[in-house]
């Protein structure tokens, strides 16, 4: 009976993750995804509490967990003494990525190793199916002109966010599918990612495709070369079109965002301003520069490391970087080199675009699989 309950819980856990990218409600995207994610987090935390009461050693910690937990402690301290402690801990602003959000990501990661091999395959296959489904949605939006300023929104409400999901999700497509199905899936993802005209997303995709070359270098080499050549040609076309059609608005200027971020990091370099503090800081700075945002939201610097430094200071940034390095060392130690292109793709994207709940979730699934 206990085994059956555990299997049911694991299937619910897998379904919760697989469905997250497709949670949309009346034109709302990120907000409802976070609500869905944090609603599941309540049950996940309850599950871990019960599990620890039943079996205190069920939560096995490794070195990278200790570094991540140390960063969470610094993040919590920064948030308590930051601009708005309650919002920083529970999650506020547009993305609602508070301290509890990042704790939940870690608990998700620690749950994955407890799954059986069959359940892990189900998780990988479910995410892969979702990625291909998203690629078909993007292509359908193009065919039916369901675009926003010429670009698809998918189920994310933002073209770059769609592209990041597709590019990171390619890791799962490669792991789940074989032979012809694999290449059909890859072609579908490549085409739909190009249709987003997201330069950061396409750059990330090429990195993950490196994993395809690594895994399939002895099989179907001609088809693989054709896909990679097609991808490179597509990159040239997309980047050229993007450079012609896109202007730089003062409200979408990454250089300005980073300049402002560095200014406020210097003001509180040790522990930072707390989670989700950027909306307040950017509103303040744009007002000082006599460029009021007037209803627009700027809540990220479009550079993950600057965001981490704003949230938790250079202390937190140092711990976060050490955590990433410890993850890489564990990947190498366990000979899971196929994860490295996806991890690098995540970091490349995060240097140019903000991260949503699904992108963070996929990172932790990849790391802990």
Quick one: DSSP state of residue 270? T
Q: For 170-214, how does the pLDDT look when each residue is reduced to its tens digit (9 = 90+)?
A: 999 999 988 778 878 888 998 999 899 888 898 888 888 876 665
Is the pLDDT at 216 greater than 60? The verdict is no
Q: Is residue 358 within 8 Å of residue 21, measured between CB atoms?
A: yes
pLDDT > 70 fraction of the chain, expressed in percent and rounded = 87
Q: For 131-141, how does the pLDDT look when each residue is reduced to its tens digit (9 = 90+)?
A: 999 999 999 99
CB-based burial, 219-250: b 16+ in 10 Å, e otherwise: eeeeebeebbeebeebbeebeeeeeeeeeeee
**d(Cα 178, Cα 170) in Å, to the nearest integer?**
13
pLDDT of res. 252: 67
pLDDT > 90 fraction of the chain, expressed in percent and rounded = 51
Q: Is residue 112 within 8 Å of residue 368, measured between CB atoms?
A: yes
Domain positions in the chain are 2-248+313-368
**d(Cα 32, Cα 173) in Å, to the nearest integer?**
26
Q: Is residue 91 within 8 Å of residue 276, measured between CB atoms?
A: yes
pLDDT of res. 346: 94
Distances (CA, A) of 202 to 46, 187, 367: 39, 13, 21
Q: For 32-49, how does the pLDDT look when each residue is reduced to its tens digit (9 = 90+)?
A: 999 999 899 888 888 888
Rounded average pLDDT over 307-311: 96
Q: For 228-254, how does the pLDDT look when each residue is reduced to its tens digit (9 = 90+)?
A: 555 666 555 555 555 444 545 555 678
Is the pLDDT at 18 greater than 60? The verdict is yes
**d(Cα 122, Cα 126) in Å, to the nearest integer?**
6
At residue 212, the 3 state secondary structure works out as: helix
Phi and psi for 253 in degrees, rounded to 5?
Answer: -105, 105
More confident residue, 113 or 219: 113
pTM, entire model: 0.91
Q: 182: closest CA among 155, 139, 203, 211?
A: 211
Token duo for residue 52: 């620890």
Quick one: DSSP state of residue 339? G
pLDDT of res. 244: 44
pLDDT of res. 59: 80
> With the CA atoms of 65, 66, 71 and 73 taken in that order, what torsion angle do they form, in degrees rounded to the nearest 10?
120
Token duo for residue 47: 């599950």
**d(Cα 114, Cα 323) in Å, to the nearest integer?**
22
Quick one: DSSP state of residue 82? S
Q: Extract the runs of DSSP E, i.e. beta strands, from 128-273.
A: none
């Amino acid at each position: 009976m206990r085994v059956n309950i555990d299997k049911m819980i694991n299937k619910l856990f897998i379904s919760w993750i697989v469905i997250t990218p497709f949670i949309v409600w009346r034109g709302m995207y990120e907000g409802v995804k976070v609500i869905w994610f944090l609603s599941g987090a309540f049950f996940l935390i309850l599950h871990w509490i019960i599990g620890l009461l039943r079996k205190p050693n069920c939560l096995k910690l490794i070195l990278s967990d200790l570094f991540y937990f140390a960063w969470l402690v610094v993040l919590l301290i920064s948030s308590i003494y930051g601009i708005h402690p309650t919002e920083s801990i529970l999650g506020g602003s547009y993305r609602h990525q508070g301290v509890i959000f990042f704790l939940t990501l870690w608990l998700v990661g620690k749950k994955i190793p407890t799954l059986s091999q069959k359940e892990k395959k189900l998780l990988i296959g479910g995410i892969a199916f979702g990625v291909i489904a998203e690629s078909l949605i993007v292509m359908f939006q193009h065919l039916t002109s369901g675009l926003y300023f010429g670009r698809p929104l998918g189920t994310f409400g933002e073209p770059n966010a769609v592209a990041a999901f597709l590019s990171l999700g390619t890791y799962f497509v490669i792991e789940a599918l074989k032979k012809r199905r694999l290449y059909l899936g890859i072609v579908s993802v490549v085409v739909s990612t190009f249709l987003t005209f997201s330069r950061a997303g396409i750059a990330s995709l090429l990195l993950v495709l490196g994993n395809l070359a690594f895994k399939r270098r002895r099989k179907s080499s001609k088809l693989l070369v054709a896909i990679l050549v097609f991808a490179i040609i597509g990159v040239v076309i997309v980047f050229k079109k993007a450079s012609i059609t896109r202007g730089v608005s003062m409200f979408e200027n990454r250089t300005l965002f980073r300049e402002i971020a560095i200014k406020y990091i210097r003001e509180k370099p040790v522990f930072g301003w707390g989670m989700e503090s950027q909306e307040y800081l950017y509103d303040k700075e744009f007002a000082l520069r006599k460029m009021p945002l007037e209803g627009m939201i700027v809540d990220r610097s479009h550079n993950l490391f600057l965001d981490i430094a704003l949230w938790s200071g250079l202390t937190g940034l140092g711990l976060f970087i050490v955590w990433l390095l410890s993850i890489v060392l564990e990947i190498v130690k366990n000979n899971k080199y196929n994860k490295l292109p996806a991890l690098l793709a995540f970091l490349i994207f995060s240097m140019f675009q903000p991260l949503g709940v699904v992108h963070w979730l996929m990172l932790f699934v990849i790391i802990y699989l």
